[in-house]
Amino acid sequence: MRVLVSDPVAEQGIDLLRQAGFTVEVKTRQSEDNLVATIGDFDALVVRSETKVTRRVIEAGRKLKIIARAGVGVDNIDVAAATECGILVVNAPEGNTIAATEHTLALMLALARNVPQANSLLKQGVWERKKFMGVELNGKTLGIVGLGKIGTQVAKRARAFGMRVVAYDPYVAEETARHLGVELVDFPKVLAEADFLTFHLPLSKDTYHLIGPREFDLMRPGVRVLNVARGGIVDENALYEAIKQGKVAGAAIDVFEEEPLRESPLLELEQVVATPHLGASTAEAQVNVAVDVAQDIIRCLRGEPVLNAVNIPAVPQEALAALAPYFVLLERLGKFAAQVISGRVEEITIRYNGSIAQYDLTPLTNTFLKGFLRPVLGDAVNYVNAPVVARKRGIRLTESKTAEMVNFANLVSMELATDAGPVSLAGTLLQDQQPRVVSFNGYRVDAIPEGHILVIPHLDKPRIIGPVGTLIGAEDVNIAGMQVGRKAVGGEAVMFLNIDAPVSPATLAKIKEIDGVLDVKYVQI
């Protein structure tokens, strides 16, 4: 077996592969053309963030069985193409947790005590004390948005500094937060109460510019903002203006929308502490991620289950043909559910009806959880660890199955209990194996869970569908399909609109203001 390492990784990981009897070749800084020309001779590929594993590269990998990302994100890998080609993609979601946690604390202390600015001036021969009066962490409130692995570790260490910790994370149960000594609050409250505010969540359509002008207005004067998660979560122009206006006392930034960063007005501000994406840059973290992916490569090439699969769960060969189409359905139902709920999830119940009940359906349930958790937690969630992640966040899971058919040959239904009330949905595959949502909160529908979708609960009365279509058309967005479900004439109903492109938040707000519209949710799958 041959393994190609195309980005620099720690030698400990390479040594493990060689000790397992594999031939390892390290060839870094290859162009796409060079990689396409050579990848056909290898069984495994190891990358970090520099190598772009495109569809061309993947399709040229005739012998390729696994692609390993020595890190968390897999945005440089065409995961869909790998899945189509039956190639496993794995990552190392936990290896750099402590590194990112400690860098967050380092930046917080540097920000509080003006360490970089004082250091720079002193090295220029200037002894200045009054200018660099700092603040203590003790007694301050730390606001955390995203209480996953890194957010949790930051919270533990912040409490050791004597800080009060408040957090927003709709996927964490109250009991879990209490064990950490963290107060769970809603998003506006975490903004309003924080003296220091830090983010630990992935970049997605929902978190892009999560913090902008409106959010800065909600913060208390003198707040200090940290971003050691992903560039783009904080609107950098809005942050610059908030600092210039005095609303934000300072910021510590490790990640930027454009990297490598060459210039930014933020770097001109004395109140800003910046580092060049060093969150995972410790010797220990680099060893951890290299060893983690090396171990999964060894498992894969020996035909054993891997621990950190990103795209393909382990399924017995005899069940694969029957269940394969349902992985797409369950992942899409998970993504759909994550984007239509409003409250904090406490319990998920999944029921399987039909002929698929003869199989072990745990991989399908894990696929739903992965799809459900990933919009908030990103690539740290995979097919293997999704149940553990859900359990750690206090989400109770119940799975049941029966061969009895309910309206369809096979039906998958789920109910999510949240503190804002239950949400239910059901899906199936049609004869062409295409996924469909066939029920939502008790309404019968036939909706395609794909692309851009508007879900609009409303009163069943005239002059609702027309105005909605007019507002969407005003943005030059085409409606590709529409489904309306209702239980009784004149009662409540739900509208599903498949649209060709997203509409602006302003248009969504206008739709919600239409007389008779009860809510509107934008879903992207």
Q: Is residue 277 among the annotated active site residues? A: yes
Question: Largest Cα–Cα distance in the chain?
Answer: 81
Contact status, residue 101 vs residue 157, Cβ threshold 8 Å: yes
- Which amino acid, residue 455? V
Which of the following is catalytic: 259, 270, 284, 513? 259
Residue 506's CB: how many other CB atoms inside 10 A? Answer: 10
- 216 Cβ neighbours under 8 A, 6+ residues apart: 238, 239, 241, 242, 247, 248
Using CA atoms, how far apart are residues 163 and 88, in angstroms rounded to an integer? Answer: 43
**Helix (H/G/I), strand (E/B), else coil: 177:** helix
Which of the following is catalytic: 48, 69, 230, 299? 230
C-alpha distance from residue 483 to each of 276, 379, 436, 507 (Å):
48, 32, 12, 20
Residue of 369, 340, 360 whose CA lies nearest to 443: 340
Using CA atoms, how far apart are residues 452 and 497, in angstroms rounded to an integer? Answer: 8
Q: Is residue 230 among the annotated active site residues? A: yes
- Cα dihedral value 120, 126, 127, 131, nearest 10: -70
Using CA atoms, how far apart are residues 211 and 91, in angstroms rounded to an integer? Answer: 28
Residue 257's CB: how many other CB atoms inside 10 A? Answer: 17
- Which tokens in the block code for residue 162? 């004597």
Measured between alpha carbons, how far apart are the two ends of the chain, in Å? 37
In the chain, % helix, strand, coil (3-state, to 5) comes to: 40, 25, 40
- Cα dihedral value 254, 255, 261, 264, nearest 10: -80
Q: Is residue 259 among the annotated active site residues? A: yes
C-alpha distance from residue 52 to each of 38, 120, 359 (Å):
15, 37, 37
Which of the following is catalytic: 48, 200, 277, 436? 277
Cis peptide before 260 (omega within 30 of 0): yes
C-alpha distance from residue 110 to each of 114, 137, 263, 487 (Å):
6, 11, 22, 59
**Helix (H/G/I), strand (E/B), else coil: 61:** coil
**Helix (H/G/I), strand (E/B), else coil: 334:** helix
DSSP 118-144: HHHHHHTT----GGG----STTPEEEE
Angle of helix 283-301 relative to helix 97-113, nearest 10 degrees, comes to 160
C-alpha distance from residue 358 to each of 315, 353, 401 (Å):
14, 10, 9
Please tell me the number of Cα atoms within 13 Å of 305 on its side-chain side: 10
Q: What is the set of active-site residues? A: 230, 259, 277
